[in-house]
Structure formats: C-alpha cells, structure tokens
Homo-oligomer: A and B are copies of this chain.
Amino acid sequence: MAITAAVLGLGNIGRCVLRAIERVPDVTCVGVVRRQTSIGKTPYDLRGVPDFPSFDDLCEHVEKPDVVIMGLPSRLSPGAAAELLTRGFCTVDSFDIHERIVEVVGSLENKAEKGHAVAVTAAGWDPGTDSIQRALFEAMTPVGTTFTNFGRGRSMGHSTAVRSIAGVADATAITIPLGGGRHSRHVFVVLEPGYTLEQVEAAIKNDPYFAHDPLQVTAVKDSAALEMVADASHGVMMERIGASGSAANQQLRFEMRIDNPALTAQILVASARAAVRLRNLEQYGCYTLIDIPPIMLLPGDRMELLGRLV
C-alpha cells in the first residue's frame, strides 16, 4: 500500500514528520504547507519535498494526498482538520488539550462522516500511546489507581502559556515529576523591559496551568540563553497497582525516555497509515488511538505481523 501525505506546518513536529516519513516503507510526502514568507527557505528542513503557501496551492501542483498530517499548534488544529475532512481528506493531529478531546472528537466525527474521511486526533504520546497504556492497565486490573508521571522535560503547553503572560518576552517551562502523578514546574523567562521577576512570577502563579503545582521561576538574559536550558528530551513513568479478580498487588509500569517531537511525529505517521486503512474500509469517523486496533499502526501484512508480534 502506498500512502500519500501532506504536512501542514514546518515547526518542530512538521520537520520530524518529514524525517519519519523518509524512513517508513509505505508513506510518501507530496508537499508541505508553510507561511508565504518562509517558502523556499531552510531547504535542509524540507528534505527535497516541495513547499506551498496554502493547501489549495499544494493540490493544484502535486497529487492530492490521502491524508494531511497536522504540524499546527493544538488550538488551530481542530478547525483546520474540520475543513479538510469535509472536503474528503483524512487528517491526523496530536491535539493535546486533554479537557477538550471529547468535544473535538464529537465535532470531527460529524465532519469525517460527511466527507467520507477518517480523522485521528490526540495521536501523540500523551494523549496518544500513553492513553493506550491507561486503557490496557485498566482492562488488566479493573480496580486500582494509575499514576502518570511526566518528565523531567520541557512542556510545550506550559511554555506557550507562560509566553502569553504580560512582561514575558520568551519562556521555557520544565516539568519535574514529584511522584503519585504530581509535578513541579521550573520556568525560565526572558523579561520584557520594565517588568520585574516578582511581577511575572505572580502572574504565572495565577495562571490555571500553574495554579496547583509548586513553581520556581528563573530569569535568563535572552532567547539564546533559554535555548541552553532544555533540549527535546522528555519522558514518562506510568504505574498502576491494582487487582485482577480477587488477586491484589498486580503491579504494572510503563516507562520511556525519548526525543519528544521525534516520537510525536513517528506516532503521527503510524496514525496516518491507520487513518487511510480505516477510510479504505469505509469506517469513516473520528478516532483516538484507543479506538484503533494496534496492528493498523504498523506497515505490512496482517499474518506476517501476527506471526512476529503476537
């Protein structure tokens, strides 16, 4: 099966999606959509793939893709997906605002059914593959408690939240696990002229993203200094102790240490494969990773995969 994909956006995720596609046997990228002002720039990021200032422009010049992989910020992603689904294109995104996922699934489901297409949403590692772990843990031990401990690593969501605070020119937020699914936050900021660290720290503490966790704020002199603070390393440790039937003390644990955008991009590519397969089976709708048979994430023949993996 040859799957054609387009990529919307050429930020951290979009660049990693191109590198992931280069290494899988069954997906090719027909083009990238990026800002008009960036067209033709950073050819090493494009890796030979043509870039276009709009999706319509892409469709005029190259083969229409089976699936569009979103490299947009989460808040822009559902709107862009809705429009593409209505036009009959499959979409895949790593939308990560947990409390809005049910709403987004409902809205994209409707659009996907209308367009005879498939959307896969929340398809990163959390939400995403971690969600599969939470579902499995609960199927294996229905009574118990799961803790998801993030980090140590840079949180994209928390960093973005700080950057929108008055007096902050630039920021990076590090998530540090405290155990039991609790976290502390260490935020590094570049201050705007005229603001003090104390003012900015108080504003961060008031933000709902930070209100419930221990917080430390450190000022650095510029964005270059900020870049020295944290690379793309991240990780998670998920643990559950629970009971299977009447047997207590069942202990489950999943742990990973990873390059964050590279893993997200790889999961997006695997999900793009599943989206096109589900569309080919006419199972139109919006899926999260726990709605998809895991075998659909992998290239190759079913019986060969069963023989090797089961």
B255 touches A141 (CB 8 A): no
Give the contacting residue for A245; candidates B19, B292, B294; CB below 8 A.
B19
B290 touches A122 (CB 8 A): no
B141 touches A266 (CB 8 A): yes
In the assembled complex, which residues on chain B have CB atoms less than 8 Å from the CB atom of A262?
244-247, 250
Number of copies: 2
Is A3 an interface residue when CB atoms closer than 8 A count as contact?
A: no
Q: Considering only CB atoms and an 8 Å cut-off, how many residues of chain A contact the other chain?
A: 66
Q: Chain B's nearest CB lies how many Å from the CB of A27?
A: 11
Is A75 an interface residue when CB atoms closer than 8 A count as contact?
A: no
A102 touches B307 (CB 8 A): yes
**Contacting residues of chain A (108-138) with chain B, CB-CB under 8 angstroms:** 122, 125, 127, 129, 131-132, 134-136, 138
Is A156 an interface residue when CB atoms closer than 8 A count as contact?
A: no
For A232, the closest partner residue in chain B by CB is: B247
Is A45 an interface residue when CB atoms closer than 8 A count as contact?
A: no
Give the contacting residue for A253; candidates B24, B139, B254, B295; CB below 8 A.
B254
Give the contacting residue for A303; candidates B102, B243, B266, B297; CB below 8 A.
B102
B135 touches A295 (CB 8 A): yes
Q: Chain B's nearest CB lies how many Å from the CB of A113?
A: 15
Is A309 an interface residue when CB atoms closer than 8 A count as contact?
A: yes
Using an 8 Å CB-CB cutoff, how does the interface string of A271-310 with B read, 1 for contact, 0 for none?
0000000000000000011111111011000110111011
For A127, the closest partner residue in chain B by CB is: B310
A139 touches B267 (CB 8 A): yes
Q: Chain B's nearest CB lies how many Å from the CB of A293?
A: 5
B250 touches A310 (CB 8 A): no
In the assembled complex, which residues on chain B have CB atoms less than 8 Å from the CB atom of A256?
250-253
Q: Chain B's nearest CB lies how many Å from the CB of A119?
A: 14
Is A259 an interface residue when CB atoms closer than 8 A count as contact?
A: yes
B140 touches A298 (CB 8 A): no
Binding site for B on A (CB under 8 A): 16-17, 19-20, 22-24, 98, 101-102, 105-106, 122, 125, 127, 129, 131-132, 134-136, 138-143, 243-247, 249-259, 262-263, 265-267, 270, 288-295, 297-298, 302-303, 305-307, 309-310
